Structure 1
Amino acid sequence: ATRKANPNARIILIVGNHEFRWRKWLYAKKIQDPIYAEAQKIANVEEVTLTRLLHLKDLDIQLVDLNPDIAKFTDNYIKIGNLYIGHWDRVNKHAAYTAKNLLADKGVNCLQAHTHRIGTHVKTTLGGILEAHEIGCLCSLDPHYTCRQDWAHGFAAVEGNKNFTHFTVHLIHIRDYEFRYGKKTFKG
């Protein structure tokens, strides 16, 4: 759906902790379960991977993966101009606290997807203004595997100059499957 809605956009999937856990589970199955080998034969693939499962090559979506040999999830991000976009291994209790602490730890402008919350922290330093954002999530807010969480549906739209040395982050909060961006209302 993302590619269809944005046929000419550069789309990047940054592997986060959920994909990391999926890969770890799949690797355990590969070693222990003969069904994995049978599934490979049926699907006619050498290996079941996130790229194959999500048809990323067919959809022209770039994957920013982690080292396959790591045992624990770690920070994963890309840098576009003066903005670091990623999935860091940090969560604090309240919205925007993670953004604040990432900015303090990393000292860079960043977008964080990991917390499933929406929040912003801005800091003025001798070197200029830095900002960090938690961009929300698009998953269920009440999954079966956890108690009610302090999560919010949302995403970020980012506009910038050609080199992204200057940019504006628009945090979009989705309430009851509806949001406004620009002068339009979008409903799900």
Structure 2
Amino acid sequence: MKEVKERKYTTEIVKDYCEEYRDMPSKTLARMILKNHPLDFEKLESVRTLVRRVRNERGVPEISETKHLTRTPKQIQQARQQKDWHDIPETDYEELAPYEIPSGNNRILSLSDVHLPYHDPKAIELTIEYAKKHLNPNVIYLNGDIMDVYQASRFTKDRRLRDLAGELDITRDFLDYINEQFPKAKKYYKIGNHEDRWESYLKSKAPELLGIDEFQLSILLRFGEKGYQLIKSKQFVFAGKLAILHGHEVFAGFGGQVNPARTIFTRAISSTLIGHHHRTSEHTEKDIRGNIISTFSQGCLCGLRPDYMPHNKWNHGFAFIETEKDGGFQLDNLRIVKGKVR
């Protein structure tokens, strides 16, 4: 009797959601219900099945108050035989929509590859001083790999170096520092491939924690409290006619390109700025209509001679973008050489 009452209760929950979100796909609605009622439901497929029964979708038996949600293998086989296979199955594909930086936010300072706590303090100081004196940005765009996430990487780690808690602390301090230097500017934080290490770590070492808000990197770094807007990993961002990517969206690995800007041109065929390669480069071509397409890679703000790659082609640098009302833009791809911004 208790089991029947519980089924009545959960069915009423699902009915309420189905009534309010009539046009939402069943699987998407099931995810919402499971997230909002984790104590009432255990598995996504059970919720999805109940949603489909409430909606009386084809191929799913109607609700019975005395029938449990799970079915025996024989019942499943019978349902498959009775199913109308002309129906197109529901897809799991979800597209990550690009983000458009609002037109009023037209003076964008892009900082990439800081790799806290392996940053270069002098390079950061020169960048901030130059931006405050000459650029007056109204947007600070942290373009990925701001945090190194060293201890959560898949590579062999030196446990004597800074722990993950220390990395989180110093990254939060850096976000506070940026807020102090540019209190009125809009702030964005793009998830790069190094920040991706955190979710990869959870997937392999602690999958039970996936989906719990408190373990999301944006919560751990307190984006909401500090006023930073999250830009997801692999999410495209546009500032007028310029695409801004970290670089891991289109590059399978790190390094190897003679000219990263030339390589991103061949893959994007659109005006694009990337970080990721720790190098300042530029490439410009005209299309058949005479339109100019320019691509850029910006320098980094981390140490230039890490133990794992003491010889490289890296350089310190940052980028400044000024967008126009028609979507056009001007981009200064600046280097830091011998203590001077050039």
TM range (shorter): 0.7 to 0.9
Higher RCO (C-alpha under 8 Å, 6+ residues apart): 2
Partner of 1:83: 242
Structure 1 CA distance for aligned equivalents of residues 314 and 339 of structure 2: 14
Return the alpha-carbon distance in structure 1 between the equivalents of residues 190 and 339 of structure 2: 24
Deviation track 1:34-70 (CA, whole Å, cap 9, x = no partner) reads: xx8xxxxxxxx9522221232211221111113xxxx
Residues in 1 aligned to 2:286 and 2:213: alpha-carbon distance in whole angstroms: 51
Give the deviation of 1:169 after TM superposition.
0.6
CA 1:140–1:179: 2 relative to 1, 3 Å: same
1:162 equivalenced with 2:325 (yes/no): yes
- Correspondence 1:11 to 2:187: yes
**Which position in structure 2 is the counterpart of 1:60?**
227
Q: Is the 8 A contact 1:82 1:109 kept in 2?
A: yes
SS at match of 2:315: coil
Partner of 2:214: 47
Match of 1:104 in 2: 266
The TM-score normalised by the length of structure 2 is 0.42
**Which structure: larger Rg?**
2
Distance between the aligned counterparts of 2:310 and 2:183, measured in 1? 38
Distance 2:339 2:178 in 1: 17
Work out whether 1:139 is the aligned partner of 2:302: yes
| Letter paired with 1:151 | W
Change (3 A) 1:175 1:22: farther
Letter paired with 2:193: N
The runs of 5 or more residues in structure 2 that have no matched partner are 1-176
Asked if structure 2 preserves the Cα contact closer than 8 Å seen for 1:76 and 1:87, the reply is: no
Greater shift in the superposed pair: 83-92 or 16-25? 83-92
Separation of aligned partners in 2, 1:22 and 1:178: 35
Letter in 2 for 1:30: A
Offset, 1:177: 4.3
The Cα shift of 1:138 comes to 1.0
Unaligned runs of 5+ in 1: 37-44, 67-74, 181-188
Q: Deviations over 1:114-146 (max 9, x none)?
A: 111101101111240011100111111122333
Q: Which residue in the other structure is 2:315 paired with?
A: 152
Would you say the 8 A contact 1:108–1:130 is kept in 2? yes
Contact kept, 8 Å, 1:77 with 1:88, in 2: the verdict is no
Structure number having the greater strand percentage: 1
1:77, CA displacement in angstroms? 2.5
For 1:13 and 1:136, the matched residues in 2 are separated by: 17
Change (3 A) 1:31 1:166: closer
Higher helix share: 2
Q: Normalising by the residue count of structure 1, what TM-score does the alignment of the two structures yield?
A: 0.74
- The percentage of counterpart residues that share the same residue type is 28
